[in-house]
Structure 1
């Protein structure tokens, strides 16, 4: 299995506080990796460094064998690493379709003005296809601010996937989504990424989602990875139980773990 993402002694300090401590991680092509940890554990710092939103204090980040330290987020995206956010990053006064077209324009690196040539037939066709794939095509003409939360999440992830990335990072994809919606939403997302052969790294607090959809878990605590392995192994790890999950995990969910 070839390595898509590798971090070497990745460290981030904020004054005297080390938010990430010598993180050495390798993510293989096609893996679906979950990142878990309590608030302040370092997982968001890790994701922000990998995607260029935060510069590391020390260490290196290799994407497809190429160092991306010092590159801007948009440049990293154009190399093939896309990202969605916990709070969907959408243009509220645009329609759903125009949001996806805007993401496509950004991925192309086109210096198109929002007031000039923007929507072309080719872009529209591609945007409509990805909305269909994510099951939200019925909202294409609606202002994105008027669609349900679950649909906005799917639009945000569709916008990340439309650039044809080789790796997709998802920040709490089910955050703010109802219990009834979370599994159908993740089924839709996972079917899409599998179809496109995308490597996935996602941060998630919902252990049922993690156990069901990932092949591997990175458990963070106090800026370090305290456990790395298959869901059955990591979620049963006594350190993870005590420091990350607490005493609220229903072990029966591991019966469906990948």
Structure 2
């Protein structure tokens, strides 16, 4: 596999807190990379830097061999990098179909909040995207009427409508009911893999990480503490103690 996103020497601090303290990381094309770690470790900061929402104080980030530091989020999206947020960024007064059509239109360079809703080709493509996520039956429902699992899928459907090559997701299961988590991730993993999209996702549910990640990167105090396949990383004694919260001799579903 080739390197799609590469970070070298990333550093950024907020006051005395080092959110990135020399981060080096390569994201390989086609993989699902999970980022785990305690709150405040710098996980979301990394996603914000990789998508243009924050500029590191030192270091570099390249995407497909191209330097993307200093680019705006919109410019980075146009290169093929999309993201979803911990809280879904939906237009709550619009329907699921209208939200997705807005994303299709944005990809085409149409930023008017009304034009996409009037163009049949945007709506047709939006319906195709929603069908892949199993959301077509909800196409006419307003976003503010969705349950959390459907809201998460609708948010990621909007990102996929941008036709990204790389998608970065900040806690895709946050707020989703425990009974719905695996179904939500199974759906998004299926769609992303079928579409050939590389994925990086921040996640706190170790069962989700163990099941869906190809590799796991463990963040701690702005540094990468461990990096490797889930069966290796999730059984590392330091990771189990400091991140998962399991002591020696204790069992966990994720590490089993």
- Range class of TM-score, shorter chain: over 0.9
The aligned length equals: 254
Q: Which residue of 1 aligns with 2:19?
A: 19
Q: Which residue of 1 aligns with 2:254?
A: 253
Q: What 5-or-longer segments of structure 2 have no aligned partner?
A: none
Q: Which residue of 2 aligns with 1:30?
A: 30
CA apart distance, 1:122: 1.3
TM-score, length basis structure 1: 0.95
| Contact preservation (8 Å) 1:168, 1:199 | yes
Distance (whole Å) between structure 2 residues aligned to residue 4 and residue 15 of structure 1: 32
1:100/1:58 CA distance change after superposition, 3 Å:
same
Distance (whole Å) between structure 2 residues aligned to residue 89 and residue 252 of structure 1: 32
Q: 5 Å matches for 1:75-224?
A: 75-111=75-111, 113-116=112-115, 118-224=117-223
Distance (whole Å) between structure 2 residues aligned to residue 17 and residue 252 of structure 1: 33
TM-score, length basis structure 2: 0.95
Which aligned runs of 4 or more in structure 1 are off by greater than 6 angstroms? none
1:250/1:123 CA distance change after superposition, 3 Å:
farther
Encode CA deviations 1:26-77: one digit per residue, 9 max, x unaligned.
0111010000011001111111111111110000000001111111111111
1:251 aligned counterpart, secondary structure: coil
Distance (whole Å) between structure 2 residues aligned to residue 44 and residue 242 of structure 1: 22
| Contact preservation (8 Å) 1:101, 1:119 | no
Distance (whole Å) between structure 2 residues aligned to residue 122 and residue 182 of structure 1: 33
Distance (whole Å) between structure 1 residues aligned to residue 115 and residue 251 of structure 2: 54
| Contact preservation (8 Å) 1:3, 1:27 | yes
1:116/1:229 CA distance change after superposition, 3 Å:
closer
Distance (whole Å) between structure 1 residues aligned to residue 160 and residue 133 of structure 2: 10
Distance (whole Å) between structure 1 residues aligned to residue 116 and residue 10 of structure 2: 42
Encode CA deviations 1:90-149: one digit per residue, 9 max, x unaligned.
0011111000011112222224x2244643121111100111110111111111101211
| Contact preservation (8 Å) 1:33, 1:202 | yes
